[in-house]
Structure 1
Amino acid sequence: MLSAVSPRSTPLALKRPRWVLAAFSPLTWREFAFHAAHLPIAVAGLLWFSVAVAVGLPVGVTWVGLVVSAFLLAGCGWFASATRKLSRRLLGQAVDVPRKHDLKPGAVGYVTSRFSHAATWRALAFLPVSFALTVATFCISIGVLVAALGAITHSVWGQYLPEQIGNDGQPHRGAQFLGEFVDTVPLQVGFAVLGLALFLFVWPSVNHGLSSLQRVVIRSMLGASRAEARLTEVTRSRAAVVQNADDTLRRIERELHDGTQARLVGLAMTLGDARDRLQHGAEPGVIAPLVDQAHSSTREALVELRELARGMHPPVLDDGLESALISACSRVPFPVNLEVSLIFRPSTVIESIAYFSVLELLTNASKHARATQARVTVSERSGRIELEVRDNGRGGAFVSPGDGAGHQTGLAGLLERARSVDGTLDVNSPAGGPTLITISLPAAAAS
């Protein structure tokens, strides 16, 4: 199932290589570069942590000391920001930035806003954890890599090691492995093969495992919490819905001004001409064409008004969601099995979103999926409205991005509508079908 809900952190387009070529993959070396590049940041972070604890705690008993402690605490965010940027560039993990603290005026606001910000405390706790983890990952990764390369090149540098007397009483030059000096051709070849295997198969896996551990720690301690990510997503979706609503209102205003209003002005002029002719005793045969023209303009204006009203709150919802869905399903050119089991009536906003979502999905199933039957289920689970629309079409449905100008269409538009009220949309549509789209909405829209 493809979920259309954004995760807390977004992995970039970095595909892990096949295990045979992993040692030569750019991703493997970027992960190794992260261990090396993050080491000085981790060391500096530990020093800042030590200063923050050693200075911040003693001086925090005074008012001026609280300001200093708040500054030292806020400074942890610098290292968190640097780590997130490095994680994005080298580890391929874009971590959602936690929500910023509310800026309050004055010294009291400066102190309280920073001491009450949970993400800042997580950043402080991250500094010692990051130091221990980064030192360990760097030492382990570079240790395995150096051992592998050393074994491969031992035949070159081993002859320059100092001479030693072995257990057999003979002098030897070279490294010792399992109690034996590697100074003969067979042992050197075997040692090189062992080093090559270590480089090709062991080091990439160890390096990747350590990088995965770094990703988990960075994501959990420096990323936005689930509640923060949810709030950010809802805020972004509501902004998109507001923008779309503003664009719709501007379009209606423009079309009313340039179309319907101009047509009504022409209608008024035609009726005024007919009235003047009647007052001057004109023959009915002269006035009849004007009346026909006015009648035609009136019908065209009604058509334009109906087109403008499309997408607004339909009167059928006044009788409830079930009645509205029955009407929507009856207009589909194939049989639709509708099941509605609600123990309460949702708010008007939720009813409108549910109605238009089902209408859009059934239209898509008819026009694009070439479905011959569908099933719509509406139920209540744990205080939320669950909508399921299943069709036997050809499948392949997915949430496509917008056009870059803030306009959303199709499933993307439905997703934005759902997110605007803290809802979700899931798409399960394999090629060849069937398609199952699930929308979860709260019973009432949040104010």
Structure 2
Amino acid sequence: MGNVTTTAIAPAVADDWRRVLRTPLRARAWRAYLYFLLISLLAVIGVVYLFATGFVSGVLLVTLVGIPLLAVVVLTGRRWNALYRALARLVGVSIDAPAPFTRPAGLPQTVAAALTDAVGWRSLGFLALQSIVMTPVGYLVLVGVVMSVSLVASPVIWAVTGEAVVSFGEPVQSLGAYLLLALGGLIALYLLGWLMLGIVRAHVWLAGTLLAAPARERRVAELERARAGVVDDAAATLRRVERDLHDGTQARLIAVAMTLARAEEQLTDPKKTERARKLVSDALANTKDTLTELRDIVRGIRPPALDLGLGPAVQTLVARNPIPVELVDDIAVRPSLGVETLAYFCVAELLANVSRHSGATRATVWLRSDAEELRIAVADNGSGGVQPGNGSGLTGLAERLRMVDGRLDIDSPAGGPTTVTAVVPSGAER
């Protein structure tokens, strides 16, 4: 058994090493090399820009023109910020934009706001740091690349022109020596590729740290979006309840009232007793239908089964599901009422997706909670390939989870199986 395990693991390890060794040759690496070239060129431009604007602003600072000019220079930091964030997308990194500059009324107030703009100063600091560091580093690395390419091409140049390309005290006139130099050039290019990838990774990390909106601002923006989502969701729910009550339940109650009125008229005539009985029977049937509709509406707001807890409520969903579903209830701490309601509808939507889209023959629902979080997992043996934007409602579900600081994770390779996990704070302390 040990030999079998070793034989199975060894090819996987070898494949991993081969993938790692091919990293500098991949298409993504070439985008990183372009990124390195661009930031090296921008470093030189940044040095010139900072020197020119700093010199002019310093000279004019004693005049009335110098202070507004310095304010403009600070605001240009935002332009550099946008440029470097756009460059980061070249290597597949998205950096959140900082909050826009809010221009107050009045020129003195605008100048004061610009001079104290934290985003502008932080962006200029990043520009200064990257320009000072990348100007010599970029120059040395690019010179190394040019020299390595020259060594790689040296055998061809020597064979075509007959003139020595390299000289170690005296010109090299041997094809063998040039082939060795070409091999050394290839090795140097490979190592320089790793060096550039490391520098790009560090540069992108620094850009994300200094150019992105601070964590507090991002949190405020998320809370504002979540608040807007909650308001819209609540308004949509109220419109739906109002429409259901107006178009369905209210109409049925009016029909019941009219039927009973007609039955009352019939009861005054003994000959029409049978007709009155039929009207009362119809009114009773309408009353039952109306009660069913009311129960459906109430269930859409907060299912009564949740009074017994999330586990029993989900058990009702499992029992009504058209395919066999196993429920694993491991709820140690009961979540808050709002989280329970959200979790119930989350499970309902995920089971509906399994029934409609997956082609599965069985599914499993796991519920687990503690004082910190509630975790819901729905797994099926269907065809897989689930994507959030393919009409399964997962995008909307993920948005609702984000409103309460939750998240939705999808593991659905083509061919299955599929596991969708929702994690939300349990809110048990509330």
TM band (smaller chain): 0.7 to 0.9
> Relative to 1, partners in 2 of residues 1:23 and 1:38: Cα closer, same or farther, differing over 3 Å?
same
- Which residue of the partner structure matches residue 8 of structure 2? none
Comparing 288-297 with 303-312, greater Cα deviation is found at: 303-312
Tell me the TM-score normalized by structure 1: 0.72
Cα deviations by residue, 1:59-93 (Å, 9 ceiling, x for unpaired): 668887544332221111111111111221x2221
For the Cα contact (< 8 Å) 2:369–2:426, is it kept in 1? no
Shift of 1:128: 0.9
Query: In the TM superposition, what whole-angstrom CA distance separates every residue of 1:393-433 from its partner, at most 9, and x where no partner exists?
Result: 769999953568xxx845x5554334324x23365969779
User: Which of 403, 414, 425 is 2:407 aligned to?
Assistant: 425
| Identity across matched positions, percent | 27
Which residues of 2 match residues 153-232 of structure 1 at below 5 A? Answer: 153-157=153-157, 173-176=164-167, 181-199=171-189, 201-232=190-221
SS of 2:301's partner is coil
Structure 1 residues 191 and 64: alpha-carbon distance in aligned structure 2, compared to 1, 3 A threshold:
closer
* Residues 1:181 and 1:40: Cα distance change in structure 2 (over 3 Å): closer
Task: Go from structure 1 to structure 2 and tell me whether the alpha carbon gap of 1:176 and 1:126 turns closer, same or farther (over 3 Å shift).
Answer: same
Q: What is the SS of the residue equivalent to 1:95?
A: coil
Question: Which secondary structure state, in structure 2, belongs to the residue aligned with residue 439 of structure 1?
Answer: strand
1:118 partnered with 2:102: no
Closer, same or farther: CA 254–278 of 1 in aligned 2, 3 Å = same
Unmatched runs of 5 consecutive residues or more in structure 2:
1-17, 320-325, 355-359
Residue 62 of structure 2 is aligned to residue 76 of structure 1: no
Q: Which segment is superposed worse, 434-443 or 91-100? A: 434-443
- How far apart in 2 are the matches of 1:193 and 1:374? 58
Moved more, 78-87 or 56-65: 56-65
Corresponding residue number in structure 2 for 1:440 = 425
Q: Once the 2 structures are TM-superposed, how far is the Cα of residue 239 of structure 1 from its aligned partner? A: 2.8
Distance 1:400 1:20, change over 3 A: closer
Alignment match, 2:252: 263
Pair 1:220–1:186, CA change in 2 (3 A): same
Query: 1:354·1:387 contact (CA, 8 Å) conserved in 2?
Result: no
How many Å separate the matches in 2 of 1:429 and 1:397?
9
Corresponding residue pairs, total:
397
Alignment of structure 1 residues 264-413 onto 2, 5 Å: 264-279=253-268, 283-313=272-302, 324-325=309-310, 327-328=312-313, 331=316, 337-341=329-333, 350-357=336-343, 360-361=346-347, 364=350, 368=354, 370=362, 374=366, 376-379=368-371, 385-389=372-376, 401-402=388-389, 409=393
Instruction: Indicate the larger mover: 287-296 or 223-232.
Output: 223-232
Aligned-pair Cα RMSD in Å:
4.1
The structure-2 alpha-carbon separation of the partners of 1:392 and 1:137, relative to structure 1 and needing over 3 Å to count, comes to same
Structure 1, unmatched stretches of 5+, are 1-16, 164-172, 380-384
SS of 2:97 mapped into structure 1: coil
- Which residue of 2 is the match for residue 87 of structure 1? 88
Structure with more helix by fraction: 2
In structure 2, relative to structure 1, the CA distance for the partners of 1:46 and 1:269 (3 Å cut) is farther
Distance (whole Å) between structure 2 residues aligned to residue 184 and residue 123 of structure 1: 53
**Contact 2:330 2:368 (8 Å CA) reproduced:** yes
Q: Contact 2:263/2:276 (CA < 8 Å) preserved in 1?
A: yes
Question: Aligned with 1:254: secondary structure?
Answer: helix
Deviation readout 1:87-131 (Å, 9 max, x if unpaired) = 21x222121111224443223442343344432221010111121
CA 1:44–1:193: 2 relative to 1, 3 Å: closer
Instruction: Decide whether aligned partners of structure 1 residues 73 and 340 sit closer, same or farther in structure 2, where only a CA change above 3 A counts.
Output: same
The change in CA–CA distance for 1:149 and 1:24 in structure 2 (over 3 A counts) is same
Note if contact 1:395-1:434 (Cα within 8 Å) is conserved in structure 2: no
Counterpart Cα distance in 2 of 1:66 and 1:267 = 79
| 8 Å CA contact 2:314, 2:347 repeated in 1 | no
For residues 280 and 66 of structure 1, what CA distance do their matches in structure 2 show?
99
Matched to 1:186, the amino acid is G
